[in-house]
Structure 1
Amino acid sequence: MPRRKLSHEGTLVLDSEGLSKLLADDEQVVALTAEARSRGMEAVVSALTIIEAVHARTNKSRLNWLLSGLRVIPVGDEEARAASGLLMDAGLHGHKYAIDAAVAEAALRQRRPVVMLTSDVDDMRKLCGDRVRLVPV
C-alpha cells in the first residue's frame, strides 16, 4: 500500500480507530504518525477517544507509553457546548455521535493544517466540513 503524504507542521488528530490501530501497531497508522511527527506535526487525541478505544484486552503499558507521546485534549463545558453546536449544525444526534462531535470540535481548534486519521470519514466530514483533512484508516 503506498504511503500517504501529510502536510508540513500543523496537527495530527487520532480518532478512536486511529488510536486503536496505533495501539495494535498497525503498519499504516504507525507510518502515518511517524511521518507526521517527522514533518513537525503535533499528534493529539481527545480524552474521550481514550475511553472509546480502550477495552478489556488493551495493553495498559503500551497505552500509557503511546499516550505519553500524544497531547491529550480535555473536554470541558465549553468544548461540550461547541461540540453540541456542531451536532446541531450537521443535523446529527448526540446519542450516536457525541464522541465524534467532541473529536471534531477538538480538531477544529488545533494548529492548521489539521489531518485526522479516522474510520468515520462520512460523519467527520459532516462535522468538520473541509477544515480538516480526513485520512481513512
Structure 2
Amino acid sequence: MGELLACGGPPPRPPARAPLPRARPRRAAPPPRDRTVTAWLSLARADDLRVITSAATLVEVIHPRINRPALEWTLSRLVIEPVTDTIARHAATLLCDAGLHGHEYAIDAMLAATALAAPSPTIVLTSDPEDLTALCGTRITVIKI
C-alpha cells in the first residue's frame, strides 16, 4: 500500500513481530512492508483510530501485478477521502511552499493536504517520507514503511 493516515487519539504502538502459526501448510509470506501495514491497521483498529487515505493514492497502488484480494482487504479497513477542490488547492499551495512542482509530487501533495485536513494527531505511513516531510514539515508524524 502506498500511504495511510491514522488520526485521532494517541499514536498507536509500533507493531510487534509475532511468529505466524504453522498449523497448516504456508503460502508464500507477504512482503515485510505488507505485514507492517497489516500490523499497523490492526493496532489502529484496536486503538479505535480512524485510518484514512487519499483517493489519489489508489492511482499509485493499483497496477496489473497487485495482489487484488490483499488490496481489497486493506482498502476495506480504510476510509478513502475524496480529492475535493479544497484539498486540490491546498495540495497546490503545499507544492509551491515546498518549491516542488509537477506530476512527480502531485499524489504526495494530495495525500499531504488530506493528512493536514484530518483531526490531529495525524500519522502518515509512507514509503516516501522525504517528500511528505518536505510538504508537511512537523505538522504530522511521518513513519517510513
* TM bracket (short chain): 0.7 to 0.9
Percent identity reads: 41
Q: Which residue of 2 aligns with 1:55?
A: 63
Between structure 1 and structure 2, the one with the greater Rg is: 2
Deviation at 1:59, TM superposition (A): 3.2
* Rounded Cα–Cα distance in structure 1 between residues aligned with 2:93 and 2:118: 18
Query: 1:3-26 deviations in whole A, cap 9, x for unaligned?
Result: xxx9972689xxxxxxxxxx8672
Give the stretch that moved more between structures: 62-71 or 116-125. 62-71
Is 1:118 paired with 2:126?
yes
Q: Say what the alpha-carbon RMSD is for the aligned residues.
A: 2.4
1:72 aligned partner, one-letter code: I
Q: TM-score, normalised by structure 2?
A: 0.74
Deviation at 1:34, TM superposition (A): 1.2
2:35 aligned partner, one-letter code: E
Q: Which residue of 2 aligns with 1:85?
A: 93
* Rounded Cα–Cα distance in structure 1 between residues aligned with 2:11 and 2:50: 5
Distance 1:90 1:122, change over 3 A: same
Is 1:74 paired with 2:75?
no
Is 1:43 paired with 2:51?
yes
3-state SS of the aligned residue for 2:71?
A: helix
* Rounded Cα–Cα distance in structure 2 between residues aligned with 1:69 and 1:124: 22
Distance 1:8 1:35, change over 3 A: farther
Deviation at 1:112, TM superposition (A): 1.0
Q: Which residue of 2 aligns with 1:103?
A: 111
Q: TM-score, normalised by structure 1?
A: 0.78
Q: Which residue of 2 aligns with 1:31?
A: 39
Distance 1:10 1:76, change over 3 A: farther
Distance 1:80 1:11, change over 3 A: farther
* Rounded Cα–Cα distance in structure 2 between residues aligned with 1:7 and 1:77: 22
* Rounded Cα–Cα distance in structure 2 between residues aligned with 1:32 and 1:47: 20
Structure 1 or 2: more helix by fraction: 1
Q: Which residue of 1 aligns with 2:3?
A: none
Q: Work out the number of aligned pairs and report it.
A: 122
Structure 1 unaligned regions, length at least 5: 1-5, 13-22
